[in-house]
């Protein structure tokens, strides 16, 4: 039996959904026993130290690399081995894309016996410094960083390889402020201390930056000086976010503007978008433009079309659908601030045929009934948990001709596609996009068309 601290010689043959190297170990007692190894990649032959055992699998770490995989590269970040942000930073980018495509295949295979072979993953135009948003926790030592893998231990690093190049400046300035003013870092275990995280978002196409101090209280001491410092560092907008909860929710519900603009402005696919700090905004702006163009083309919008953009955020896809010539567009989204942004965004772009509602996606039929909306095209872009039965039923009740399904979790997307197929929807193509280089996540876009009749 395998025990903790055993040293095993292993060849890594696969990568798990979470991005861990996978080896299968056999001896006289065991056959193909799965061992997940942190930072190991297919093709590596290693000596592995077992760190945790379960009934049918174990976790290990690399003790020594005996033979390096051809896909291995030197991770250009000193905290890569510990940090929970990247998983593929030690691998050739082409190999990462192939692994992501395989993950999509595996997700679909778990949900349906037959499906189209996914197209190659569209590579991200940028694989470094592409993140336009980060939220960095402050350590006990007064340094910003990121959470360690599967924990809330702080890995100090103000120079993340994925974050926008401007963010390091703000982290350094805020670290200096916290030190000079003797502001206490928040401690998750005791629930004491004030400064929790620094949240930054940059509008990549205009350069505007929003900075937000997340604090365990109502007021940050020397708040005016903080605002002045962030302004001097280049912020267009400075907020305080109040989070006095003990759990691991990062952002609280209350935002208070202490300097500058309420919303920063970005431009995507030629359309202007104002973004509140509470609203969702895609984190890889260059690749988002590729994704949006693809999704709007897939919808083949014509002048008679009524489009529903479900999970619409600040109305990005809604306004692009309107620009593509739809007769009418409806957007539905649960976050009120995002809907407020969406309405403003329609206005500042002179788009008059888009209407937005703050509501749960499952309430769609009720909302559209009230305003007499009958969409023939639905675009959905749900969070990781996907649509689920209730929202699939809600969409099926509208009986649209086309459904463009954008997903950041191919597992729940495949599950939902099976549900939608019971209402007569079929699909031909799966197009993955790499929105999150160096992490295990991958985005997929699918067009479903109504070819059959409703179930029941």
Ligand X SMILES: C[S@@+](CC[C@H](N)C(=O)[O-])C[C@H]1O[C@@H](n2cnc3c(N)ncnc32)[C@H](O)[C@@H]1O
Q: Which residues bind ligand X (CB under 6 A)?
A: 280-282, 311-313, 316-317, 333-335, 338, 360-361, 381-383, 408
As a whole number of angstroms, the distance between CA 283 and CA 132 comes to 5
Q: What tokens were used for 410?
A: 């191919």
Rounded to a whole number of angstroms, the minimum distance from the CB of residue 388 to ligand X is 9
Rounded to a whole number of angstroms, the minimum distance from the CB of residue 338 to ligand X is 5
Rounded to a whole number of angstroms, the minimum distance from the CB of residue 382 to ligand X is 6
Q: Which residue is nearest to ligand X (CB)?
A: 313
386: left (phi over 0), alpha (psi -120 to 50) or beta: left
Rounded to a whole number of angstroms, the minimum distance from the CB of residue 278 to ligand X is 9
Beta bridge partners of residue 430, listed in sequence order: 446
415: left (phi over 0), alpha (psi -120 to 50) or beta: alpha
Shortest CA distance to 104 belongs to which of 385, 410, 394?
410
Helix or strand holding residue 228 (H, E): helix 223-233
Cβ(158)–Cβ(143) under 8 Å?
Answer: yes
Q: What tokens were used for 297?
A: 């083309």
For the beta carbon of residue 361, count every other beta carbon within 10 angstroms.
20
Which residue, chain included where needed, has tokens 């103000």?
158
Pinpoint the alpha helices (H) of 44-166. 93-111
Shortest CA distance to 233 belongs to which of 169, 177, 291, 284?
169
Task: Give whichever of 138 and 342 is closer to ligand X, judged by the CB atom.
Answer: 342
Per the annotation, the verdict on 408 as an active-site residue is yes
C-alpha Rg value of the chain to the nearest Å: 24
CA dihedral 212, 213, 214, 216 (to 10 degrees): -150
Rounded to a whole number of angstroms, the minimum distance from the CB of residue 251 to ligand X is 12
Shortest CA distance to 200 belongs to which of 155, 253, 264, 150?
264
Shortest CA distance to 134 belongs to which of 169, 178, 179, 90?
169
Task: Give whichever of 157 and 316 is closer to ligand X, judged by the CB atom.
Answer: 316
Of 48, 86, 312, 408, which is the active-site residue?
Answer: 408
As a whole number of angstroms, the distance between CA 241 and CA 243 comes to 6
As a whole number of angstroms, the distance between CA 292 and CA 14 comes to 31
As a whole number of angstroms, the distance between CA 127 and CA 97 comes to 11
SS3 401: coil
Task: Give whichever of 71 and 344 is closer to ligand X, judged by the CB atom.
Answer: 344
Answer positive or negative: Cα dihedral of 103, 104, 108, 113: negative
Rounded to a whole number of angstroms, the minimum distance from the CB of residue 244 to ligand X is 22
Q: What tokens were used for 262?
A: 């309420």
Cβ(103)–Cβ(113) under 8 Å?
Answer: no
Task: Give whichever of 281 and 425 is closer to ligand X, judged by the CB atom.
Answer: 281
Task: Give whichever of 229 and 296 is closer to ligand X, judged by the CB atom.
Answer: 296
Rounded to a whole number of angstroms, the minimum distance from the CB of residue 349 to ligand X is 15
Rounded to a whole number of angstroms, the minimum distance from the CB of residue 279 to ligand X is 7
Task: Give whichever of 108 and 280 is closer to ligand X, judged by the CB atom.
Answer: 280
SS3 95: helix
Task: Give whichever of 90 and 282 is closer to ligand X, judged by the CB atom.
Answer: 282
Shortest CA distance to 215 belongs to which of 244, 246, 249?
244
Task: Give whichever of 156 and 434 is closer to ligand X, judged by the CB atom.
Answer: 434
Q: Say if strands 264-268 and 271-275 run parallel, antiparallel, or are unpaired.
A: antiparallel
Task: Give whichever of 19 and 382 is closer to ligand X, judged by the CB atom.
Answer: 382
Rounded to a whole number of angstroms, the minimum distance from the CB of residue 253 to ligand X is 13
Q: Which residues are known to be catalytic? A: 408
């Amino acid at each position: 039996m395998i025990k903790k601290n055993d040293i095993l010689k292993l060849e890594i043959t696969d990568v798990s959904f979470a991005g861990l190297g996978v080896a299968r170990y056999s001896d006289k007692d065991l056959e193909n026993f799965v061992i997940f190894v942190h930072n190991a990649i297919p093709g590596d032959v290693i000596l592995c130290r077992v760190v945790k055992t379960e009934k049918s699998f174990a976790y290990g770490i690399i003790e020594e690399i005996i033979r390096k995989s051809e896909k291995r590269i030197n991770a250009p970040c000193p905290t890569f081995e510990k940090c929970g942000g990247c998983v593929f930073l030690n691998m050739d980018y082409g190999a990462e894309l192939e692994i992501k495509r395989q993950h999509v295949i595996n997700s679909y295979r778990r949900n349906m016996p037959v499906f189209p072979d996914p197209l190659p993953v569209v590579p991200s135009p940028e694989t470094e410094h592409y993140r336009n948003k980060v939220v960095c926790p402050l350590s006990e030592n007064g340094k910003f960083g990121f959470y360690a893998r599967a924990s809330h231990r702080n890995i100090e690093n103000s120079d993340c390889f994925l974050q926008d190049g401007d963010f390091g400046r703000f982290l350094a300035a805020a670290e200096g402020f916290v030190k000079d003013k003797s502001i206490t870092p928040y401690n998750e275990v005791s629930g004491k201390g004030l400064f929790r995280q620094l949240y930054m978002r940059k509008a990549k196409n205009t350069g505007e930056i929003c900075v937000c101090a997340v604090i365990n209280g109502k007021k940050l001491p020397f708040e005016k000086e903080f605002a002045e410092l962030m302004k001097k560092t280049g912020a267009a907008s400075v907020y305080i976010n109040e989070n006095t909860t003990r759990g691991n929710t990062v952002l609280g519900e209350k935002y208070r503007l202490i300097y500058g603009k309420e919303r920063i402005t970005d431009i995507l696919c030629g359309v202007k978008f104002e973004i509140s700090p509470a609203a969702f905004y895609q984190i890889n702006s260059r690749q988002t433009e590729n994704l949006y163009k693809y999704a709007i083309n897939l919808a083949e919008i014509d002048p008679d079309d009524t489009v529903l953009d479900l999970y619409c955020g600040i109305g990005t896809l809604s306004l692009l659908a309107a620009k593509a010539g739809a007769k009418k567009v409806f957007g539905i989204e649960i976050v009120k601030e995002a809907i407020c942004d969406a309405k403003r965004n329609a206005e500042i772009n002179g788009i008059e045929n888009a209407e937005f509602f703050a509501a749960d996606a499952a309430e769609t039929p009720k909302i559209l009934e009230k305003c007499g909306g009958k969409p023939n095209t639905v675009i959905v872009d749900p969070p990781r948990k996907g649509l689920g039965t209730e929202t699939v039923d809600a969409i099926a009740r509208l009986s649209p001709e086309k459904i463009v399904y954008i997903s950041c979790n191919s597992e729940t997307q495949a599950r939902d596609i099976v549900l939608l197929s019971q209402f007569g929807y079929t699909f031909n193509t799966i197009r993955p996009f790499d929105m999150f280089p160096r992490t295990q996540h991958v985005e997929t876009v699918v067009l479903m068309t109504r070819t059959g009749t409703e179930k029941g």
